[in-house]
Amino acid sequence: MSAPPIDRHFALRKLHSLLGVVPIGAFLAFHLFENSLASPLHGLSAAQWTEDVVMKIDRLPYILVAEILLIALPILFHGIYGAIIWFEGRANPGRYGYFRNWMYVLQRIAGAIAFVFILTHVWQTRVQVLLGQVSKEQLYERMATLFSSPAQQAWYAVGILAAVVHFVNGLWLVGITWGLTTAPRAQRLATVVWACAGVLLLLLGGLALFGFQAVTTAGGHLALR
């Protein structure tokens, strides 16, 4: 007796949800944490942050290959296939109005904003390093220069908020998709747990935003702490 055919769409949705947690979500949490170390609360100078965060990671073997295979490609797949899921969705908050239907819509909007934000962030930082426009040692200064613009500060705040909302609400959805939180009580508990996780991630993001602040001297030069 032959095995039943594999539902390709079902398998892709499973892969999409899994990649949203590992490696994408895990990397988001780690990236917010390492950038939060730029906050004055940690007492690191620009040179110390560069050495402890940027250079130590850059010295890992095959780091560029890992960035492509474990970060860039999963993000591209998750973003593109997420758009396909969005266009195939049938949520109607105007008609039904219940909380989870609204969260479904918010999940898609936040995901779209986060995807564009990630592309711009990578272009402004990692791609510029690869193009030779910015050295790894200048990344702190690069971020501080970007954050000297109120528009860039606002865009990064919106982008981080969208990424965190998409991630933590996605974790709630993963519990449903993978059959981990099917009972109503388990879903309510998951809502509280992931909401707390979201607040923590936003706190880390806020520390990062606060840390990468540029101070312009009278001579027009960037003064880093």
CA distance 205 to 211: 10
Q: Is the peptide bond before 61 cis (omega within 30 degrees of 0)?
A: no
- The answer to the question of residue 1 being in a domain is no
- For residue range 85-101, what is the model confidence (pLDDT) as tens digits? 888 876 555 554 577 77
Range of the domain at 96: 8-223
- The answer to the question of residue 3 being in a domain is no
Evaluate if residue 218 carries a pLDDT over 50.
Answer: no
- For residue range 107-155, what is the model confidence (pLDDT) as tens digits? 999 999 999 999 999 999 999 999 999 999 999 999 988 988 999 999 9
Tokens at residue 48, please? Answer: 């110390």
Are 160 and 32 contacting, i.e. CB atoms less than 8 angstroms apart?
A: yes
CA distance 117 to 157: 10
pLDDT at 200: 98
- The answer to the question of residue 90 being in a domain is yes
In total, how many domains does the chain have? 1
CATH number where 56 lies: 1.20.1300.10
- For residue range 21-46, what is the model confidence (pLDDT) as tens digits? 999 999 999 999 999 999 888 888 88
pTM over 0.85? The answer is yes
How would you class 139 by CB atoms within 10 Å of its CB: exposed for 0-12, middle for 13-18, buried for 19 or more?
buried
Helices (runs of H) and strands (runs of E) counted in the chain: 11, 2
Are 177 and 11 contacting, i.e. CB atoms less than 8 angstroms apart?
A: no
